[in-house]
Amino acid sequence: MIIDHGKGHELPITLVRVDDKTGEIATVSGVYLNLWTVNGTLLVSKKTSNVPTAPITALAASDGFDWMENYSAYVTGHEDGSIRVWGWTWDSGKRDLCLRTQLKAHSAAISCLYISRFVGMEASSTLRSIDRY
């Protein structure tokens, strides 16, 4: 499958993640998190920040947060050091992503995110090693 840069992306794709259970594909382009079906149909395009200088720099996903309504989430790390957790919601029968929480614990760009059912979430930036949430 090819995801066309001209459809759903204004900037180059910088991150990609494929859900091994559903086959859904998450792509990142600037401040946008885009979710696609395995067949390349755009499900949702979410602007994750109103600040263009805070693009997404890390991406992780989980299907196992107990505190999420449907037990799945996407987590984005940003250039400004913030971490945002997104969960699925249904609005008028349409699937969308809703910001569940935001963490601001880093002063540098988030370079890596890792989610574990046993530990929780770990994040690192260029100035701090690993923080656990």
Which pLDDT score, from 0 to 100, does residue 15 have?
A: 93
pTM: 0.78
Question: Residue 130 CB: number of other CB atoms within 10 A?
Answer: 11
pLDDT at 58 over 90: yes
The token duo for 21 is 């259970």
Average pLDDT over residues 36-65: 86
Fold observed for domain 15-132 = Methylamine Dehydrogenase; Chain H (2.130.10)
pLDDT at 4 over 80: no
DSSP string covering 24-75: -EEEEETTEEEEE-TTS-EEEEEE--S-TT--EEEEEEES--TTSTTS-EEE
Contact criterion met (CB below 8 Å) for 31 and 47 = yes
- Give the chain's mean pLDDT: 78
pLDDT at 3 over 80: no
